Amino acid sequence: MLAPRALNGDTFGSPRHPLTVCIPPKCSYCSEDRPLRIGVVLFPGFQALDAFGPLDVLNILSWSHNISISLLSLTLDPVSTKPPRKATATGQSILPTHTFASAPPLDVLLIPGGLGTRSLAAPVEHAISFIRSNHVHLKYLITICTGTSLAARAGILDGKRATTNKMAWAETTALRPQVEWVPHARWVVDGNIWTSSGVSAGIDVTLAWVEEVFGANVAEEIARGMEYEWRHDPTHDPFAEHWGLWPL
């Protein structure tokens, strides 16, 4: 269902099109002169670091590679990280660039998590609908923390291996038992779907994705620039042990 496809409909990995994704600077077959188009889903109560860890990686990537980033939400109103049900909590407001209805074509979609994912309100329901409607056109889907629950609720992770936040493991995985949940993983790759553990794990999965698509040197340089001790092992997960999810 989510097999990567070339821009022209050709299948990635074929002899004519050997790359796993069509990146204009790398793909001599498509050779389209356009940026790699990345979208980020926003909703009230998204977790700040879930989004801005990966976005920091991608912003630095943009200094040397042709990418675009769209921030998508139900409306163009500022979206706060303040969890809807925590009256005294602090939050910061981010400006979307597009609504779900006006979203441009996307190659990659990132879905952050946060307490806001627990909401049944319109912004989250529309985010889930957007994910369900658009995932077949994506080359990559990357979820962070409980952002995985939105993809799971969209039904697009059924039968696939995926991980999510370890503190919220029980309630998140119960939302969609059809997913093959992996309890001991910093991040999990199944086809072109990359899912990560909680919050700061979004930095690791995004660096790993940059390594896959743009090469190890690019990812390493970004991690050093961020002074981030990137762990390359997706099974390094001390938090699974802390929360009693491993060993089983």
Kindly tell me which of 5 and 37 has the beta carbon lying closer to a copy of itself.
37
Using CB under 8 A, pick the residue from 198, 205, 214, 234 that binds a copy of itself: 198
Instruction: Select from 166, 155, 153, 164 the least CA-distant residue to 113.
Output: 164
Burial of 29 (0-12, 13-18, 19+ CB in 10 A): middle
User: How much helix, strand and coil, in percent to the nearest 5, is found in the chain?
Assistant: 30, 15, 50
Q: What is the dihedral of CA 142, 145, 149, 151, to 10 degrees?
A: -10
Instruction: Reduce the DSSP state of residue 143 to 3 states and report it.
Output: strand
Shortest Å, Cβ 189 to a copy of itself: 18
Range in contact with a copy of itself (rule: CB under 8 A) among 7-15, 89-97, 119-127, 170-178: 89-97
Residue 108 within binding range of a copy of itself, rule CB under 8 A: no
Q: What is the dihedral of CA 88, 72, 130, 175, to 10 degrees?
A: -30
Residue 107 within binding range of a copy of itself, rule CB under 8 A: no
Residue 81 within binding range of a copy of itself, rule CB under 8 A: yes
Range in contact with a copy of itself (rule: CB under 8 A) among 21-29, 48-56, 117-125, 207-215: 48-56
Token couple for 51:
């989004």
Instruction: Select from 181, 129, 123 the least CA-distant residue to 155.
Output: 129
Q: How many residues bind a copy of itself (CB under 8 A)?
A: 49
Range in contact with a copy of itself (rule: CB under 8 A) among 5-13, 25-33, 75-83, 170-178: 75-83
Range in contact with a copy of itself (rule: CB under 8 A) among 5-13, 67-75, 133-141, 208-216: 67-75
Shortest Å, Cβ 158 to a copy of itself: 25
CB 226 within 8 A of CB 204: no
Using CB under 8 A, pick the residue from 18, 32, 34, 89 that binds a copy of itself: 89
Kindly tell me which of 85 and 137 has the beta carbon lying closer to a copy of itself.
85
Half-sphere exposure of 26 (CA within 13 A, CB side): 15
Q: Which residues bind a copy of itself (CB under 8 A)?
A: 47-49, 51-53, 55-56, 58-59, 62-63, 66-69, 71, 78, 81-83, 86, 88-95, 145, 165-167, 197-201, 203, 224-229, 238-239, 242
